[in-house]
Amino acid sequence: MSTLVRTSTLERRARRGARHLDRVGPDDWIEQIDLDHLDIQLPRRCVIGQLYGHYHRHCESVVKRGWLRLLPRGLRSDHLGFSLNKLYSWDQFQRIMWTYQELTDAWRREILRRRAELDSKRTTRDTAE
């Protein structure tokens, strides 16, 4: 099944969203995400939902923090991989679900990569001491 957005684009969006959370999110946001329950499509299990309680209540404030001057047309949650944020027709339902799964997988890979980097830095620091 093909996605509605290329996997490389979803990967780029997840990286961009992670960098944004590095700037505006909790210091330990990477460790707060439960990868076993991560699902970008669900408001309480997506990245924003897990960090702040509910996607629909908190996404706009998280997205707008610190980025307004960087993108003149405004930044949307799909630019940061927090959602697909686009209306598709009902006949594309399966592809939408597949795309959300791919976006969730992109976030999972990005978080795992960042956790591995953190572990490596901690090990290096502990070895140096």
pLDDT band at 85 (very low <50, low <70, confident <90, very high): low
Query: Phi-psi region for residue 87, left (φ > 0), alpha (ψ -120 to 50) or beta?
Result: beta
Give pLDDT, residue 90. 67
Instruction: Give the residue, 126 or 27, on which the prediction is more confident.
Output: 27
Give pLDDT, residue 61. 76
Q: Is the pLDDT of residue 128 over 90?
A: no
Domain ranges across the chain: 7-128
Contact 79, 71 (CB under 8 A): yes
pLDDT tens digits for range 87-125: 566 677 888 888 899 999 999 999 999 999 988 888 877
| pTM for this predicted structure | 0.82
Contact 29, 21 (CB under 8 A): yes
Q: How many CB atoms lie within 10 A of CB 49?
A: 22
pLDDT tens digits for range 43-70: 999 999 999 988 888 777 777 665 433 4
